[in-house]
């Protein structure tokens, strides 16, 4: 082969690249810590960001339940049993024949089925129920403290019927109840995950860090719990709650039960990562630098874990929400007068009821599915972004 030299390559210092988009300047990335890198990766997941916004909206609703709901959850009006959802109209025809801007819903007329002798509601186009924002309505206490009577939306005349999502068998407004249920259902996820986090992280770290018989025992316990089918077990534990307990007590016990079985997955994840990290060179290096056990865990191992834990937690919340819903649906979880999505779905247990009033199934179910879906998308995005250092 003849010798050939390409001297035009002499000055090259790095591989040739053509930039596709102008990213963050190099200098900026050089001093970016892990959370900035994770954030940078996360916001590239459009779906996950969207899901995060959806969840934020739900928590916002949960926070201002009393103000956002048009009525009170227990206010029942027997004359409006199983009233169907109304739709909002924006313009009404006024006397002079023109149209005028006036948000409204149509009222109900009652028809009696001559054969079944059943009352059914039909929308009565002649009855106009004007509605508005920030209207005065039933008095409530925001967060149990501030007495107020303004509602985000409602009929201008408080005695008029406005049931945007319909009513249940006692004539209670489904939308109001759904909004109140949001607070209970969404918070169960958060509280449950907090308990799981404590159990999972503590036991998982112990297991992963000390190994040996500690690990062995904890692993056995996890194995036993995670190989039990969850629903029978939840049922068994929830059924043991005495009927005499107050709703608040029941709420906390249910949360505890739900989180008791959520922690195993978290503990496994934490243990696995602990194991992997314990063998990492940089941890050995820190040990040789003289770091004690506590410093090793808190300064070197846990910061590498937090993003992963966050992702796993996010994915654990929906299971807890579903668990609460399932238990309440079966009648062994939360019970009325507490309102949660599961309690609402209890009304939809009977197929005949669903056939008469499908909204009783559709809206609570939709709320559950949307939230669970959003959490899964968000958790997935977080998991992908959790380790910004792998290529």
Partner 1 sequence: MGIGGMVAKLKADVADTGEPLLEVKDLSIDFHLRTHILHAVRNVSFALERGRTLCLVGESGSGKSVTARALLGIVDRQGRIAGGRILLHGDEGEVDIAQMTERSSELLRIRGGRIGLVFQEPMSSLSPVHTIGSQIIEALRLHRRLDARAARAETVELLRQVEIRDPETMVDRYTFEFSGGMRQRAMIAMALACDPDILIADEPTTALDVTTQAEILDLIKRLQVSRGMAMLLITHDMGVVAEVADDVAVMRYGRIVETGSVDDVFHAAQHPYTSSLLSSTVRLEQPRADIRDRAEALGEPVLSVRSLTKVYGAVSGWFGKSGPALTAVDDASFDLHAGENLGIVGESGSGKTTLGRLILRTVEPTSGSITYRRKDGTSDDVLALSKAGLKDYHRQVRLVFQDPFASLNPRMTVKQIVGDPLVVAGTLRGAALEHRVGELLDLVGIDPRSMERYPHAFSGGQRQRIGIARALALDPSVLIADEATAALDVSIRAQILDLLLDIQKRLGLSFIFISHDISVVRYFCDHVAVMHRGRIVEMGTAEEIVNNPREPYTQSLISAVPNPDPRNKRMLHRTRFKS
Partner 2 sequence: MMGRYIVKRLIYMVPTLIGMSIIAFLIIQLPPGDYLTSMIARMTESGENVDPAQVARLREIYGLDDPVLIQYWKWISGILLRGDFGHSFEWNRPVSDLIWERMGSTLAISLASLLFVWAVALPIGIYSAVRRHSFGDYAFTFLGFLGLAIPNFILALTLMYVTYRYLGQSVGGLYSPQYVEAPWSWGKFVDLLSHLWIPIIVIGTSGTAALIRILRANLTDELNKPYVVTAKAKGLPEYKVVLKYPVRIALNPFVSAIGWVLPELISGVTITAIVLNLPTAGPLLLRALVSQDMYLAGSFILLMGVLTLIGMLVSDLLLALLDPRIRFT
Cβ atoms of residues 85 and 359 within 8 Å = yes
Is 373 one of the binding residues for partner 2 (CB under 8 A)? yes
Which residue in the set 227, 246, 290, 292 belongs to the binding site for partner 2 (CB under 8 A)? 227
Dihedral pair phi/psi, residue 169, rounded to 5°: -70, -15
By CB under 8 A, is residue 10 in contact with partner 1? Answer: yes
377 counts as binding partner 2 under rule CB under 8 A: yes
Strand partners, 147: 141
Q: How is 132-150 classified by DSSP, letter by letter?
A: EEEEEEEEEEETTTEEEEE
Q: Which does 110 bind (CB under 5 to 8 A by kind): partner 1, partner 2, none?
A: none
> Nearer Cβ to partner 1, position 18 or 87?
18
- Residue 49 vs residues 58, 64, 103, 339: alpha-carbon distances, Å: 14, 23, 33, 29
User: How many whole angstroms separate alpha carbon 210 and alpha carbon 217?
Assistant: 12
DSSP 7: G
Cis peptide before 337 (omega within 30 of 0): yes
Q: Does 368 bind partner 2 (CB under 8 A)?
A: yes
Q: Is 278 in the site for partner 1 (CB under 8 A)?
A: no
CB of 299 to partner 1, least distance (A): 8
The token pair at 29 is 């990335």
Taking CB within 5 to 8 Å according to partner kind, which of partner 2, partner 1, none is near residue 295? partner 1
Nearest approach in angstroms of CB 224 to partner 1 is: 20
Q: Which is nearer to partner 1, 288 or 351 (CB)?
A: 288
122 interacts with, out of partner 2, partner 1, none, CB within 5 to 8 A per kind: none
b/e code 241-256 from CB counts within 10 Å (16+ = b): beeeeeeeebbebbbe
**According to CB under 8 A, which one of 117, 242, 281, 352 is a site residue for partner 1?**
281
Binding partner of residue 228 among partner 1, partner 2, none, CB cut-off 5 to 8 Å per kind: partner 2
In whole angstroms, give the CA distance from residue 362 to residue 354. Answer: 9
Return the bridge partners of 153, or none: 133
Select from 113-121, 179-187, 286-294, 340-348 the region that touches partner 1 (CB under 8 A). Answer: 286-294
Beta bridge partners of 355: none
Cα 145–Cα 151–Cα 152 angle in degrees, nearest 5: 120
The closest alpha carbon to 83, from 119, 121, 45, 137, belongs to 121
Place of tokens 């989180």: 259
When asked if residue 322 is in the footprint of partner 2 (CB under 8 A), the reply is yes
Give which of partner 1, partner 2, none residue 21 binds (C-beta under 5 to 8 Å, depending on kind). Answer: partner 1
Does residue 219 interact with partner 1 by CB under 8 A?
no
Report the residue from 85, 107, 262, 318 that binds partner 2 according to the rule CB under 8 A: 318
Q: Catalog residues that contact partner 1 under the rule CB under 8 A.
A: 1-7, 9-10, 12, 14-21, 23, 29-34, 280-282, 284-291, 295, 300, 303-304, 389
Contact residues for partner 2 (CB under 8 A)? Answer: 220-221, 223-233, 235-237, 239-240, 242, 318, 322, 325-326, 329-332, 345, 348-349, 351, 354-355, 358, 361, 365, 368-369, 372-373, 376-377
């Amino acid at each position: 082969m003849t010798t050939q030299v390409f001297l035009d390559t002499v000055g090259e210092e790095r591989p040739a690249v053509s930039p596709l988009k102008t990213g963050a300047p190099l200098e900026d990335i050089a001093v970016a810590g892990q959370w900035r890198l994770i954030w940078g990766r996360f916001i590239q997941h459009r779906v996950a960001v969207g899901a995060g916004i959806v969840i934020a909206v739900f928590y916002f609703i949960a926070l201002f339940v009393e103000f956002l709901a048009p009525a009170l959850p227990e206010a029942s009006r027997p004359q409006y049993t199983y009233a169907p959802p109304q739709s909002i109209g924006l313009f009404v025809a006024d006397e002079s024949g023109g149209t005028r801007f006036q948000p409204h819903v149509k009222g109900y007329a009652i028809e009696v089925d001559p054969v079944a002798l059943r009352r059914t509601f039909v929308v009565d186009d002649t009855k106009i129920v004007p509605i508005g924002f920030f209207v005065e309505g039933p008095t409530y206490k925001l967060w149990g403290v501030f007495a107020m009577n303004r509602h985000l939306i409602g009929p201008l005349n408080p005695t008029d019927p406005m049931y945007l999502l319909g009513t249940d068998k006692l004539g209670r407004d489904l939308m109001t109840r759904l909004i109140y249920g949001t607070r209970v259902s969404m918070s169960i996820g958060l509280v449950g995950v907090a308990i799981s986090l404590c159990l999972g992280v503590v036991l998982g770290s112990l297991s992963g860090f000390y190994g040996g018989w500690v690990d062995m025992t904890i692993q056995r316990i996890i194995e036993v719990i995670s190989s039990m089918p969850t629903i029978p077990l939840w049922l068994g534990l929830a059924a043991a709650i005495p009927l005499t307990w107050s709703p608040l007590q029941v709420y906390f016990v249910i949360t505890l039960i739900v989180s008791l079985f959520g922690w195993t997955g978290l503990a496994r994840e934490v243990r696995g990562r602990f194991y992997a990290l314990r063998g990492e060179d940089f941890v050995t290096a820190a040990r040789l630098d003289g770091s004690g056990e506590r410093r090793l865990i808190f300064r070197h191992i846990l910061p590498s874990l937090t993003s992963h834990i966050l992702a796993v937690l996010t994915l654990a919340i929906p299971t807890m929400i579903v668990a609460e819903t399932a238990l309440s649906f079966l009648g062994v979880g939360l019970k009325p007068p507490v309102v949660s999505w599961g309690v609402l779905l209890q009304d939809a247990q009977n197929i005949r009821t669903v056939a008469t009033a499908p909204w009783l199934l559709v809206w609570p179910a939709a709320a559950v599915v949307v939230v669970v879906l959003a959490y899964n998308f968000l958790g997935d995005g977080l998991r992908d972004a959790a380790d910004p250092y792998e290529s």
